[in-house]
Amino acid sequence: MNKPVRAKDLNVSQSQPAIEIRNLVKLYGDHAAVDDVSLNVDMGVFVTLLGPSGCGKSTLLRSIAGFAKPTRGAVIVGGRDITHELPYRRPVSMVFQDYALFPHMTVRQNIAFGCEMKGQTKAAIAERCRQMLELIHLPDVGDRYPAHLSGGQQQRIALARALAPDPVLLLLDEPLGALDLKLRRRMQQELKQIQRRTGKTFVFVTHDQEEAMSMSDRIAVMRDGRIEQIGAPEQIYRNPATAFVAGFIGDANMIEARVAATDRDMLTLHVAGQNWRVPAARVTAETTPEVGASMVVVVRPEDMRIADHGREGDLVLTARLDDRTFLGGRVRLALTSNEGLSLVAEVRQQDFAQLAERVEMRCSPADVAIVAAAEGNRTNP
Amino acid sequence: MNRIPTAALPIWFWLFVAYLFLPLVVMAAMGFRDSNFIAFPIQQWTTGWYRSVLADEEILSALWVSAQVAVYSTTVAIAVGLPMSFVFARTRGPMRALMIAAIVLPAFLPVIVSAIAIRMFLGHLGLETGIAAISFGHAIGSVPFVVIMILTRLNAMSSNLADAARNLGADDVIVVTRIVLPFLAPALFGAMMFCLLLSFEDFVRSFFLGGVDPTFPVLLFARLRFGFDPGLAAISTIVLIASTALGLFAERHIRRRNMGR
Amino acid sequence: MTQILVSARRFGVYRNTIDTLARVPALRVALLAAIPLGWIAVANLAPLVQMVAISFQDRYPLPPGEPGQWTLRHYAAFFERPHYLAAFTRSFVFATLATVLTLLVMFPVAYYLSKVAPRNWRIRLLLLVIAPFWISEIVRSFAWILMLANNGAVNSFLALLGFPGLPLDLLYNNISLTIGVLYLTSLYMLLPLYAALEKIDDSALEAASDLGASPFKRLWRIVLPLSRDGIVGGCTLVFLLVIGLYAMPQLLGGSGNTLFASTIGQVFARAGNSWPLGSAFSMILIGVALAYVGLFAILFRSRGPGRSG
């Protein structure tokens, strides 16, 4: 019958997705924890499921691992439909948030466990353990017990244990959540390096957008059981598809606007008492908005300028400077515009003004993203 | 700080320790008295009693009965308590509360009532009193403690542990034998020791469910009603030291294993 | 071992069995629950149910072929003889007093162990005190007989000091019984108290004394309310233990004041139609004792934790 699939057994081209999720739905009673999610991830890609807690990212991950039974839809890993496969026959490995290392086994026994379950020979298992310990730069801890290791070391052991049986897919459920900030930064880099070196497909779950931005090849932003947007980190940051994504990823000034007129490639917005023309290409939604539609102009703080040397076509907002914070090379300003909007800007050192002074803030039409206003007024402008 | 209670507390504590141990020391000493009667002060000392009780057929056979009962009842209590703990760890709701109430019920009944109820029940079924009956009775008394001890440990186990093993390819049989049981080992060991000692010291159940062969506490009770001799003090001291040593050993062992990992 | 289990999965029957169990959690729970449920039914419930039934039977065991007759006369018998009622009342009074006494003696001990004793000594001292936990009721009684008998340790010691009027009659009365019972119950009280007191944050106590609370006030307003669970737990355990004591009263107590547990034992030991009467008495004991303990627990717990502040 069907044996567990190993990556090297799979005669797959790089173009075939490592995992394909088709219209997955997971209901708990009436509540849809995962609501019609489809996702393709190519081999060797580091993809992150990002979203606030309760957005369904963990449930999605557990559905892939087989711990949650999907209500509808399909999960295909390495070309094989595993939607109804038992957890212990799936070619996927998982790294748990609390590591779930077996406390009564040594590090080596922990790492060997997955290989043992595949009935590999003792020699092969020993060799694999050695490789794995080498990979995580902890060659000498094999005979220690997990409780005697630090959090960061345990985290790496958990990773090695999951990688040892050579899974098609590695699932990571907020694996860095328990670490302190400094260690977290270091582990982010190390995790990324290990992913590159092994060439494995990683599906990483986190609610920390900075973490997602620094590690991922692709990010899927989730909310209320749905994927709001999938793309490379830069793309999501620059061209957020929705107001939610814009607000969740990085800092953003969200300025309400109304569509006053549309022509072929330009859009006239009524914003902050002005009519402002922006390229229609800056609208990140799939459909061009109609006249009268409520929109939100997303401006990143670093795209705000204090400058008299403005360019033609800039949006100009007069604002009072409330507070400023030094960030080394840059200064972060908190402002309130004449229209009562709270604004954040990051500017170069020499640009800042005096507190309580009125300044003209500018942003260029090329630097903004226009998204549809959130239904139900969810976003905080 | 206030001086009065802080000074009085240690004194009170050590008085209590004296109260605990003085009678035991007196009993141990009485076993060395070179006379057929219990009396103080002890003028002449002998180790004769300690030697002779260990040759006393009746006492040895009672100890053997006690040991058998302890092993049987412990085996049954673990065999019942372990799956019961698994069930409780997985179920929720009112059904579970009812079951837990039914399980701990024996711990809340006066022992004499529960012993007699079992006696009548076995009689109704036409079963004899004796070692099997005592073991059954002891197991009933032990199961609540087994369940509580195992359940406590089971609740300390991350639910991810079993999932992690499944994720690595372990089926449920392997999850139980390689992950769950080893994880429970300290609690299982503790529960076993607890059951053994609980069974060994029990009197009431053994008394009402016993047949011709008495357990050690029952034999001691019978002999005490006829009169005392230093030999009884000697054997009581031996049993006391053995069970205390076993209890302390178990305690130490569990503490170390729980902390070590 | 693991290798065998892994290889066993090549066999279809085994493989299908574990897969089916994994796919149907309800089946797994049902299989697992079979033994416990059977045990509860046979070991915990059936004997009690049978006892209840027998207590309402006119006679038991019945001669073959004779139909049973339901009656309340065994319950009535309890109220008809002052002898029974007296033993019953004595049991409850004695158990209550013994519980209160145990609490009074053990609370300072538990408090010392959990809060006052040097930190690195606490566990060792606790072990010292619970070491005699595993001594049987009979051996404990015997040890106190040796202490209190006419030619026992206490009388001999007093004689050594030249006390007049020896030997004192220390054994076979309520005092010797109380001493012995306390010897038995102390640890059942200590463990719950210790567990509860240990959980109290030291800083709460320090804060109280910083605010100028007197030691007595601190005990009354902070320590007692916070250790309420331990007190209720310990008292429940001890009370139920004492109310069911059978051997110790016979060994250490006086012959004139039998406790109710002994009465039940005697009734059962009696020849003839004794089971229904003994069962009825058992039911009365269980019912009243559990109601008593339950009432105590409810009264003590109902003042929610918020009130202590």
Here the CATH number for the domain that contains residue B189 is 1.10.3720.10
Q: Does C1 touch chain A (CB under 8 A)?
A: no
Interface size, chain A vs chain B, as Cβ–Cβ contacts under 8 Å: 71
**Which residue range(s) make up the domain with B209?**
57-227
Is residue B64 situated within a structural domain?
yes
Tokens 């980190």 identify what position?
A: A233
Q: How far apart are CA C50 and CA C72, in angstroms?
A: 16
* Spacing of C-alpha A30 from chain mean position: 27
pLDDT surpassing 60 at residue C303: no
For residue A308, the model assigns a pLDDT of 66
Nearest chain B residue to A171, by CA: B167
Among A121, A101, A103, smallest CA distance to A161 is for A101
Q: What sign does the dihedral A53-A92-A101-B182 (CA atoms) show?
A: positive
Q: Dig out the tokens for A360 from the structure.
A: 């003209």
Interface of A with B in 79-118 (CB under 8 A): 86-90, 92-94, 96-98, 100-105, 113-114, 117-118
Length of chain B: 261
Does the N-terminal peptide bond of residue B41 adopt cis geometry, omega within 30 degrees of 0? yes
Disruptive mutation site among A96, A149, A205 for chain B (greatest number of B CBs within 10 Å): A96
Confidence label for C216 from pLDDT (cuts 50, 70 and 90): confident
B48-to-B20, B36, B238 alpha-carbon distances in Å: 27, 11, 14
Yes or no, beta carbons of A117 and C6 under 8 Å apart: yes
Residues A50, A57 contacting (CB under 8 angstroms):
yes
Q: Is A273 helix (H, G, I), strand (E, B) or coil?
A: coil
Q: Provide, as residue numbers in chain B, all residues whose Cβ is less than 8 Å from the Cβ of C244.
A: 109-113, 204
Mean pLDDT value of segment C259-273: 83
State the Cα angle at A38 between A208 and A173, rounded to 5°.
35
- As a whole number of angstroms, the distance between CA C227 and CA C224 comes to 5
Q: Number of helices (H) and strands (E), helices first, in chain A?
A: 8, 20
HEC secondary structure over A95-118? ECCCCCCCCCCCHHHHHHHHHHHC
Give the residue from C6, C7, C11 with the most A CB atoms within 10 Å of its CB, the best one to mutate: C6
| Both structure tokens of B47 | 């180790």
Q: Sheet of A218-223: strands edge to edge?
A: A92-95, A169-173, A201-206, A46-50, A218-223, A226-231
Handedness of CA A7, A10, A14, A17 (dihedral sign): negative
As for the ipTM of the complex, it is: 0.87
pLDDT at A110: 95
Q: Is the dihedral of CA C216, C220, C226, C227 positive or negative?
A: positive
Q: How far is CA B215 from the centre of its chain?
A: 14
- Asked if the model's pLDDT at residue C221 lies above 90, the reply is no
* Distance separating alpha carbons of residues A109 and C234, to the nearest angstrom: 44
* Calpha distance B245→B256 (Å, rounded): 16
Residues of C in Cβ contact (< 8 Å) with A116: 2-3, 6
CA–CA separation, A193 vs A58, rounded Å? 24
- The closest of A37, A28, A102 to A64, measured between CA atoms, is A37
| Interchain proximity C22–A116, CB inside 8 Å | no
Looking at residue A101, what is its pLDDT? 93
Residue C62: its pLDDT value, please? 75
Rg of chain C's alpha carbons, rounded to an integer?
27
Which residues of B lie closer than 8 Å to A, measured between beta carbons?
158, 160-161, 163-171, 174, 178-179, 182-183, 185, 260-261
* pLDDT per residue of chain A (381 residues) written in tens, 0 to 9: 444 444 444 444 455 789 999 999 999 988 999 999 999 999 999 999 999 988 999 999 999 999 999 999 999 998 899 999 999 999 999 999 999 999 999 999 999 999 999 989 999 999 999 999 999 999 999 999 999 999 899 999 999 999 999 999 999 999 998 888 889 999 999 999 999 999 999 999 999 999 999 999 999 999 999 999 999 999 999 999 999 999 898 889 999 889 888 887 888 888 888 888 888 888 877 677 788 888 899 999 988 888 766 677 888 888 888 888 888 878 888 999 888 888 999 888 666 666 667 888 888 888 889 888 876 444 333
Residue type, C58: D
Q: Given this model, what pLDDT does residue A375 score?
A: 60
d(CA C142, CA C251): 8
pLDDT of residue B1: 44
Scored b (16 or more CB within 10 A) or e, C79-105 reads eeeeebeebbebbbebbbebbebbbeb
Strand A358-363 with A226-231, pairing: unpaired
CB A299 within 8 A of CB A363: yes
Dist CA B185 CA B188 (whole Å): 5
Question: Coil, helix or strand for A1?
Answer: coil
Map out the domains of chain C with their CATH numbers. Answer: 2-55 (no CATH), 74-308 (1.10.3720.10)
For the cut 90, the answer to whether the pLDDT of residue C101 exceeds it is yes
Q: What mean pLDDT, rounded, does chain B reach?
A: 87
Tens-digit pLDDT profile for residues B116-151: 999 999 988 888 889 999 999 999 999 999 999 999
Q: Is residue B32 classed as helix, strand or coil in its secondary structure?
A: coil
Chains near B with 3+ CB pairs less than 8 A apart are: A, C
Chains sharing 3 or more CB pairs under 8 A with chain C: A, B
Of B160, B169, B183, the CB nearest to A165: B169
Where helices occur in A56-146 by DSSP H, the ranges are: 57-65, 107-117, 122-135
Please count the CA atoms within 13 angstroms of the CA of B236 that sit on its side-chain side: 36
Are A103 and A147 within 8 A, CB to CB? yes
Tell me, what's the pLDDT at B3? 45
Number of domains in chain B: 1
- pLDDT confidence of residue B258: 61
Domains of chain A by start residue, with CATH: 7-238 (3.40.50.300), 243-372 (2.40.50.140)
Evaluate whether B137 touches B123 at the Cβ level (below 8 Å).
no
Q: Which candidate from B80, B116, B120 shows the least CB-CB separation from C36?
A: B80
Write down the residue that tokens 């997303």 correspond to.
A298
Q: Where are the alpha helices (DSSP H) in chain A?
A: 57-65, 107-117, 122-135, 151-163, 181-198, 209-215, 233-238, 243-248
* Cβ within 8 Å, pair A116-C2: yes
Nearest CB partner across the interface for A114, out of B160, B168, B260: B168
Average pLDDT value for residue range C57-66: 77
| B87 within a domain of the structure (yes/no) | yes
The residue-averaged pLDDT of B86-100 equals 83
Residue A54, sorted as left (phi over 0), alpha (psi -120 to 50) or beta, turns out to be left
Query: Which residue type, as a one-letter code, is found at position C6?
Result: V
Helix axis angle, C46-55 to B111-125, nearest 10°? 90
pLDDT tens digits for range B182-232: 999 989 999 999 999 999 999 999 999 988 899 999 999 999 888 778 888
Residue C185, C-beta contacts closer than 8 angstroms, at least 6 positions apart: C98, C99, C102, C238, C241, C242
Whole-number Å distance between alpha carbons of B20 and C211: 38
Give which of C234, C211, C210, C207 is closest to C111, Cα–Cα. Answer: C234
Q: Read off the pLDDT band of C36 (50, 70, 90).
A: confident
Contact state of C153 with B26 under an 8 Å Cβ cutoff = yes
> For residues B232-245, b (16+ Cβ closer than 10 Å) or e, as one string?
bbbbbbbbbeebbe
Q: Which two tokens stand for residue B125?
A: 């079924």
Q: How confident is the model at residue C305, as a pLDDT?
A: 47
- Going by the DSSP 8-state scheme, the letter that residue A8 receives in this structure is G
DSSP string of A210-267?
A: HHHHHH-SEEEEEETTEEEEEE-HHHHHHS-SSHHHHHHSS--EEEEEEEEEE-SSEE
Residue C17 CA, distance from chain mean position: 45
- Residue reference for tokens 């991810």: B160
Which positions in chain A touch C19 (Cβ < 8 Å)?
Answer: 86
Q: What is the pLDDT of residue C154?
A: 87
- Cβ C289–B10 below 8 Å, yes or no? no
